[in-house]
């Protein structure tokens, strides 16, 4: 887990040689879907799994359970302790089979949207 305890060093930046075999197995060696979703693409479950679906692994089921509320790819990855790339592959499966809906992030062109800036500023001021 990526939970922090009291002794964390906030700016510790780690360069890890992670064990890669397990994630690769979970994703069945697939890496091609890795560019499909942004780190902040949000996913939400729209159809619960029954546990009897063919081709859904425990990791898929875990994502379906996690995403009862919208969560970003980065959050799913952190909660599951999996590299973001693997989560993208699994999320792609779930999206293709209609278990989750995804919301792509605000595209750069929409950054023209004045209302968005106003809402964000108001929201930050109210913190």
Size (the chain), residues: 127
Q: In sequence order, which residues have a C-beta less than 8 Å from that of residue 65 and are 6 or more positions away? A: 45
Please report whether residue 51 would count as binding another protein according to CB under 8 A: no
Q: Which of 6, 10, 36, 64 binds another protein (CB under 8 A)?
A: 10
Angle at 17 between CA 4 and CA 80, to 5 degrees: 45
Distance between CA 79 and CA 94 in Å, rounded?
Answer: 17
Binding site for another protein (CB under 8 A): 2-4, 10-11, 13-18, 20-21, 23-24, 29-32, 34-35, 38-42, 44, 46-47, 53-55, 70, 72, 74-75, 77-79, 83-85, 96-98, 101, 103, 105-108, 111-112, 114, 116-117, 119-125, 127
């Amino acid at each position: 887990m990526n939970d922090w305890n009291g002794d964390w060093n906030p700016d510790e930046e780690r360069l890890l040689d992670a064990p890669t075999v397990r994630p690769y197995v979970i994703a069945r060696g697939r890496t091609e879907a890795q560019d499909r979703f942004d780190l902040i693409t949000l996913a939400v479950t729209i159809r619960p799994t029954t546990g009897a679906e063919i081709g859904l692994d425990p990791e898929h089921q875990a994502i379906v359970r996690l995403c009862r509320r919208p969560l970003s790819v980065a959050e799913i990855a952190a909660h599951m302790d999996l590299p973001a790339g693997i989560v993208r592959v699994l999320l792609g499966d779930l999206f293709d089979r209609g278990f989750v809906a995804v919301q792509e992030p605000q595209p750069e062109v929409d950054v023209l949207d004045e209302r968005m800036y106003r809402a964000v500023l108001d929201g930050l001021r109210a913190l």
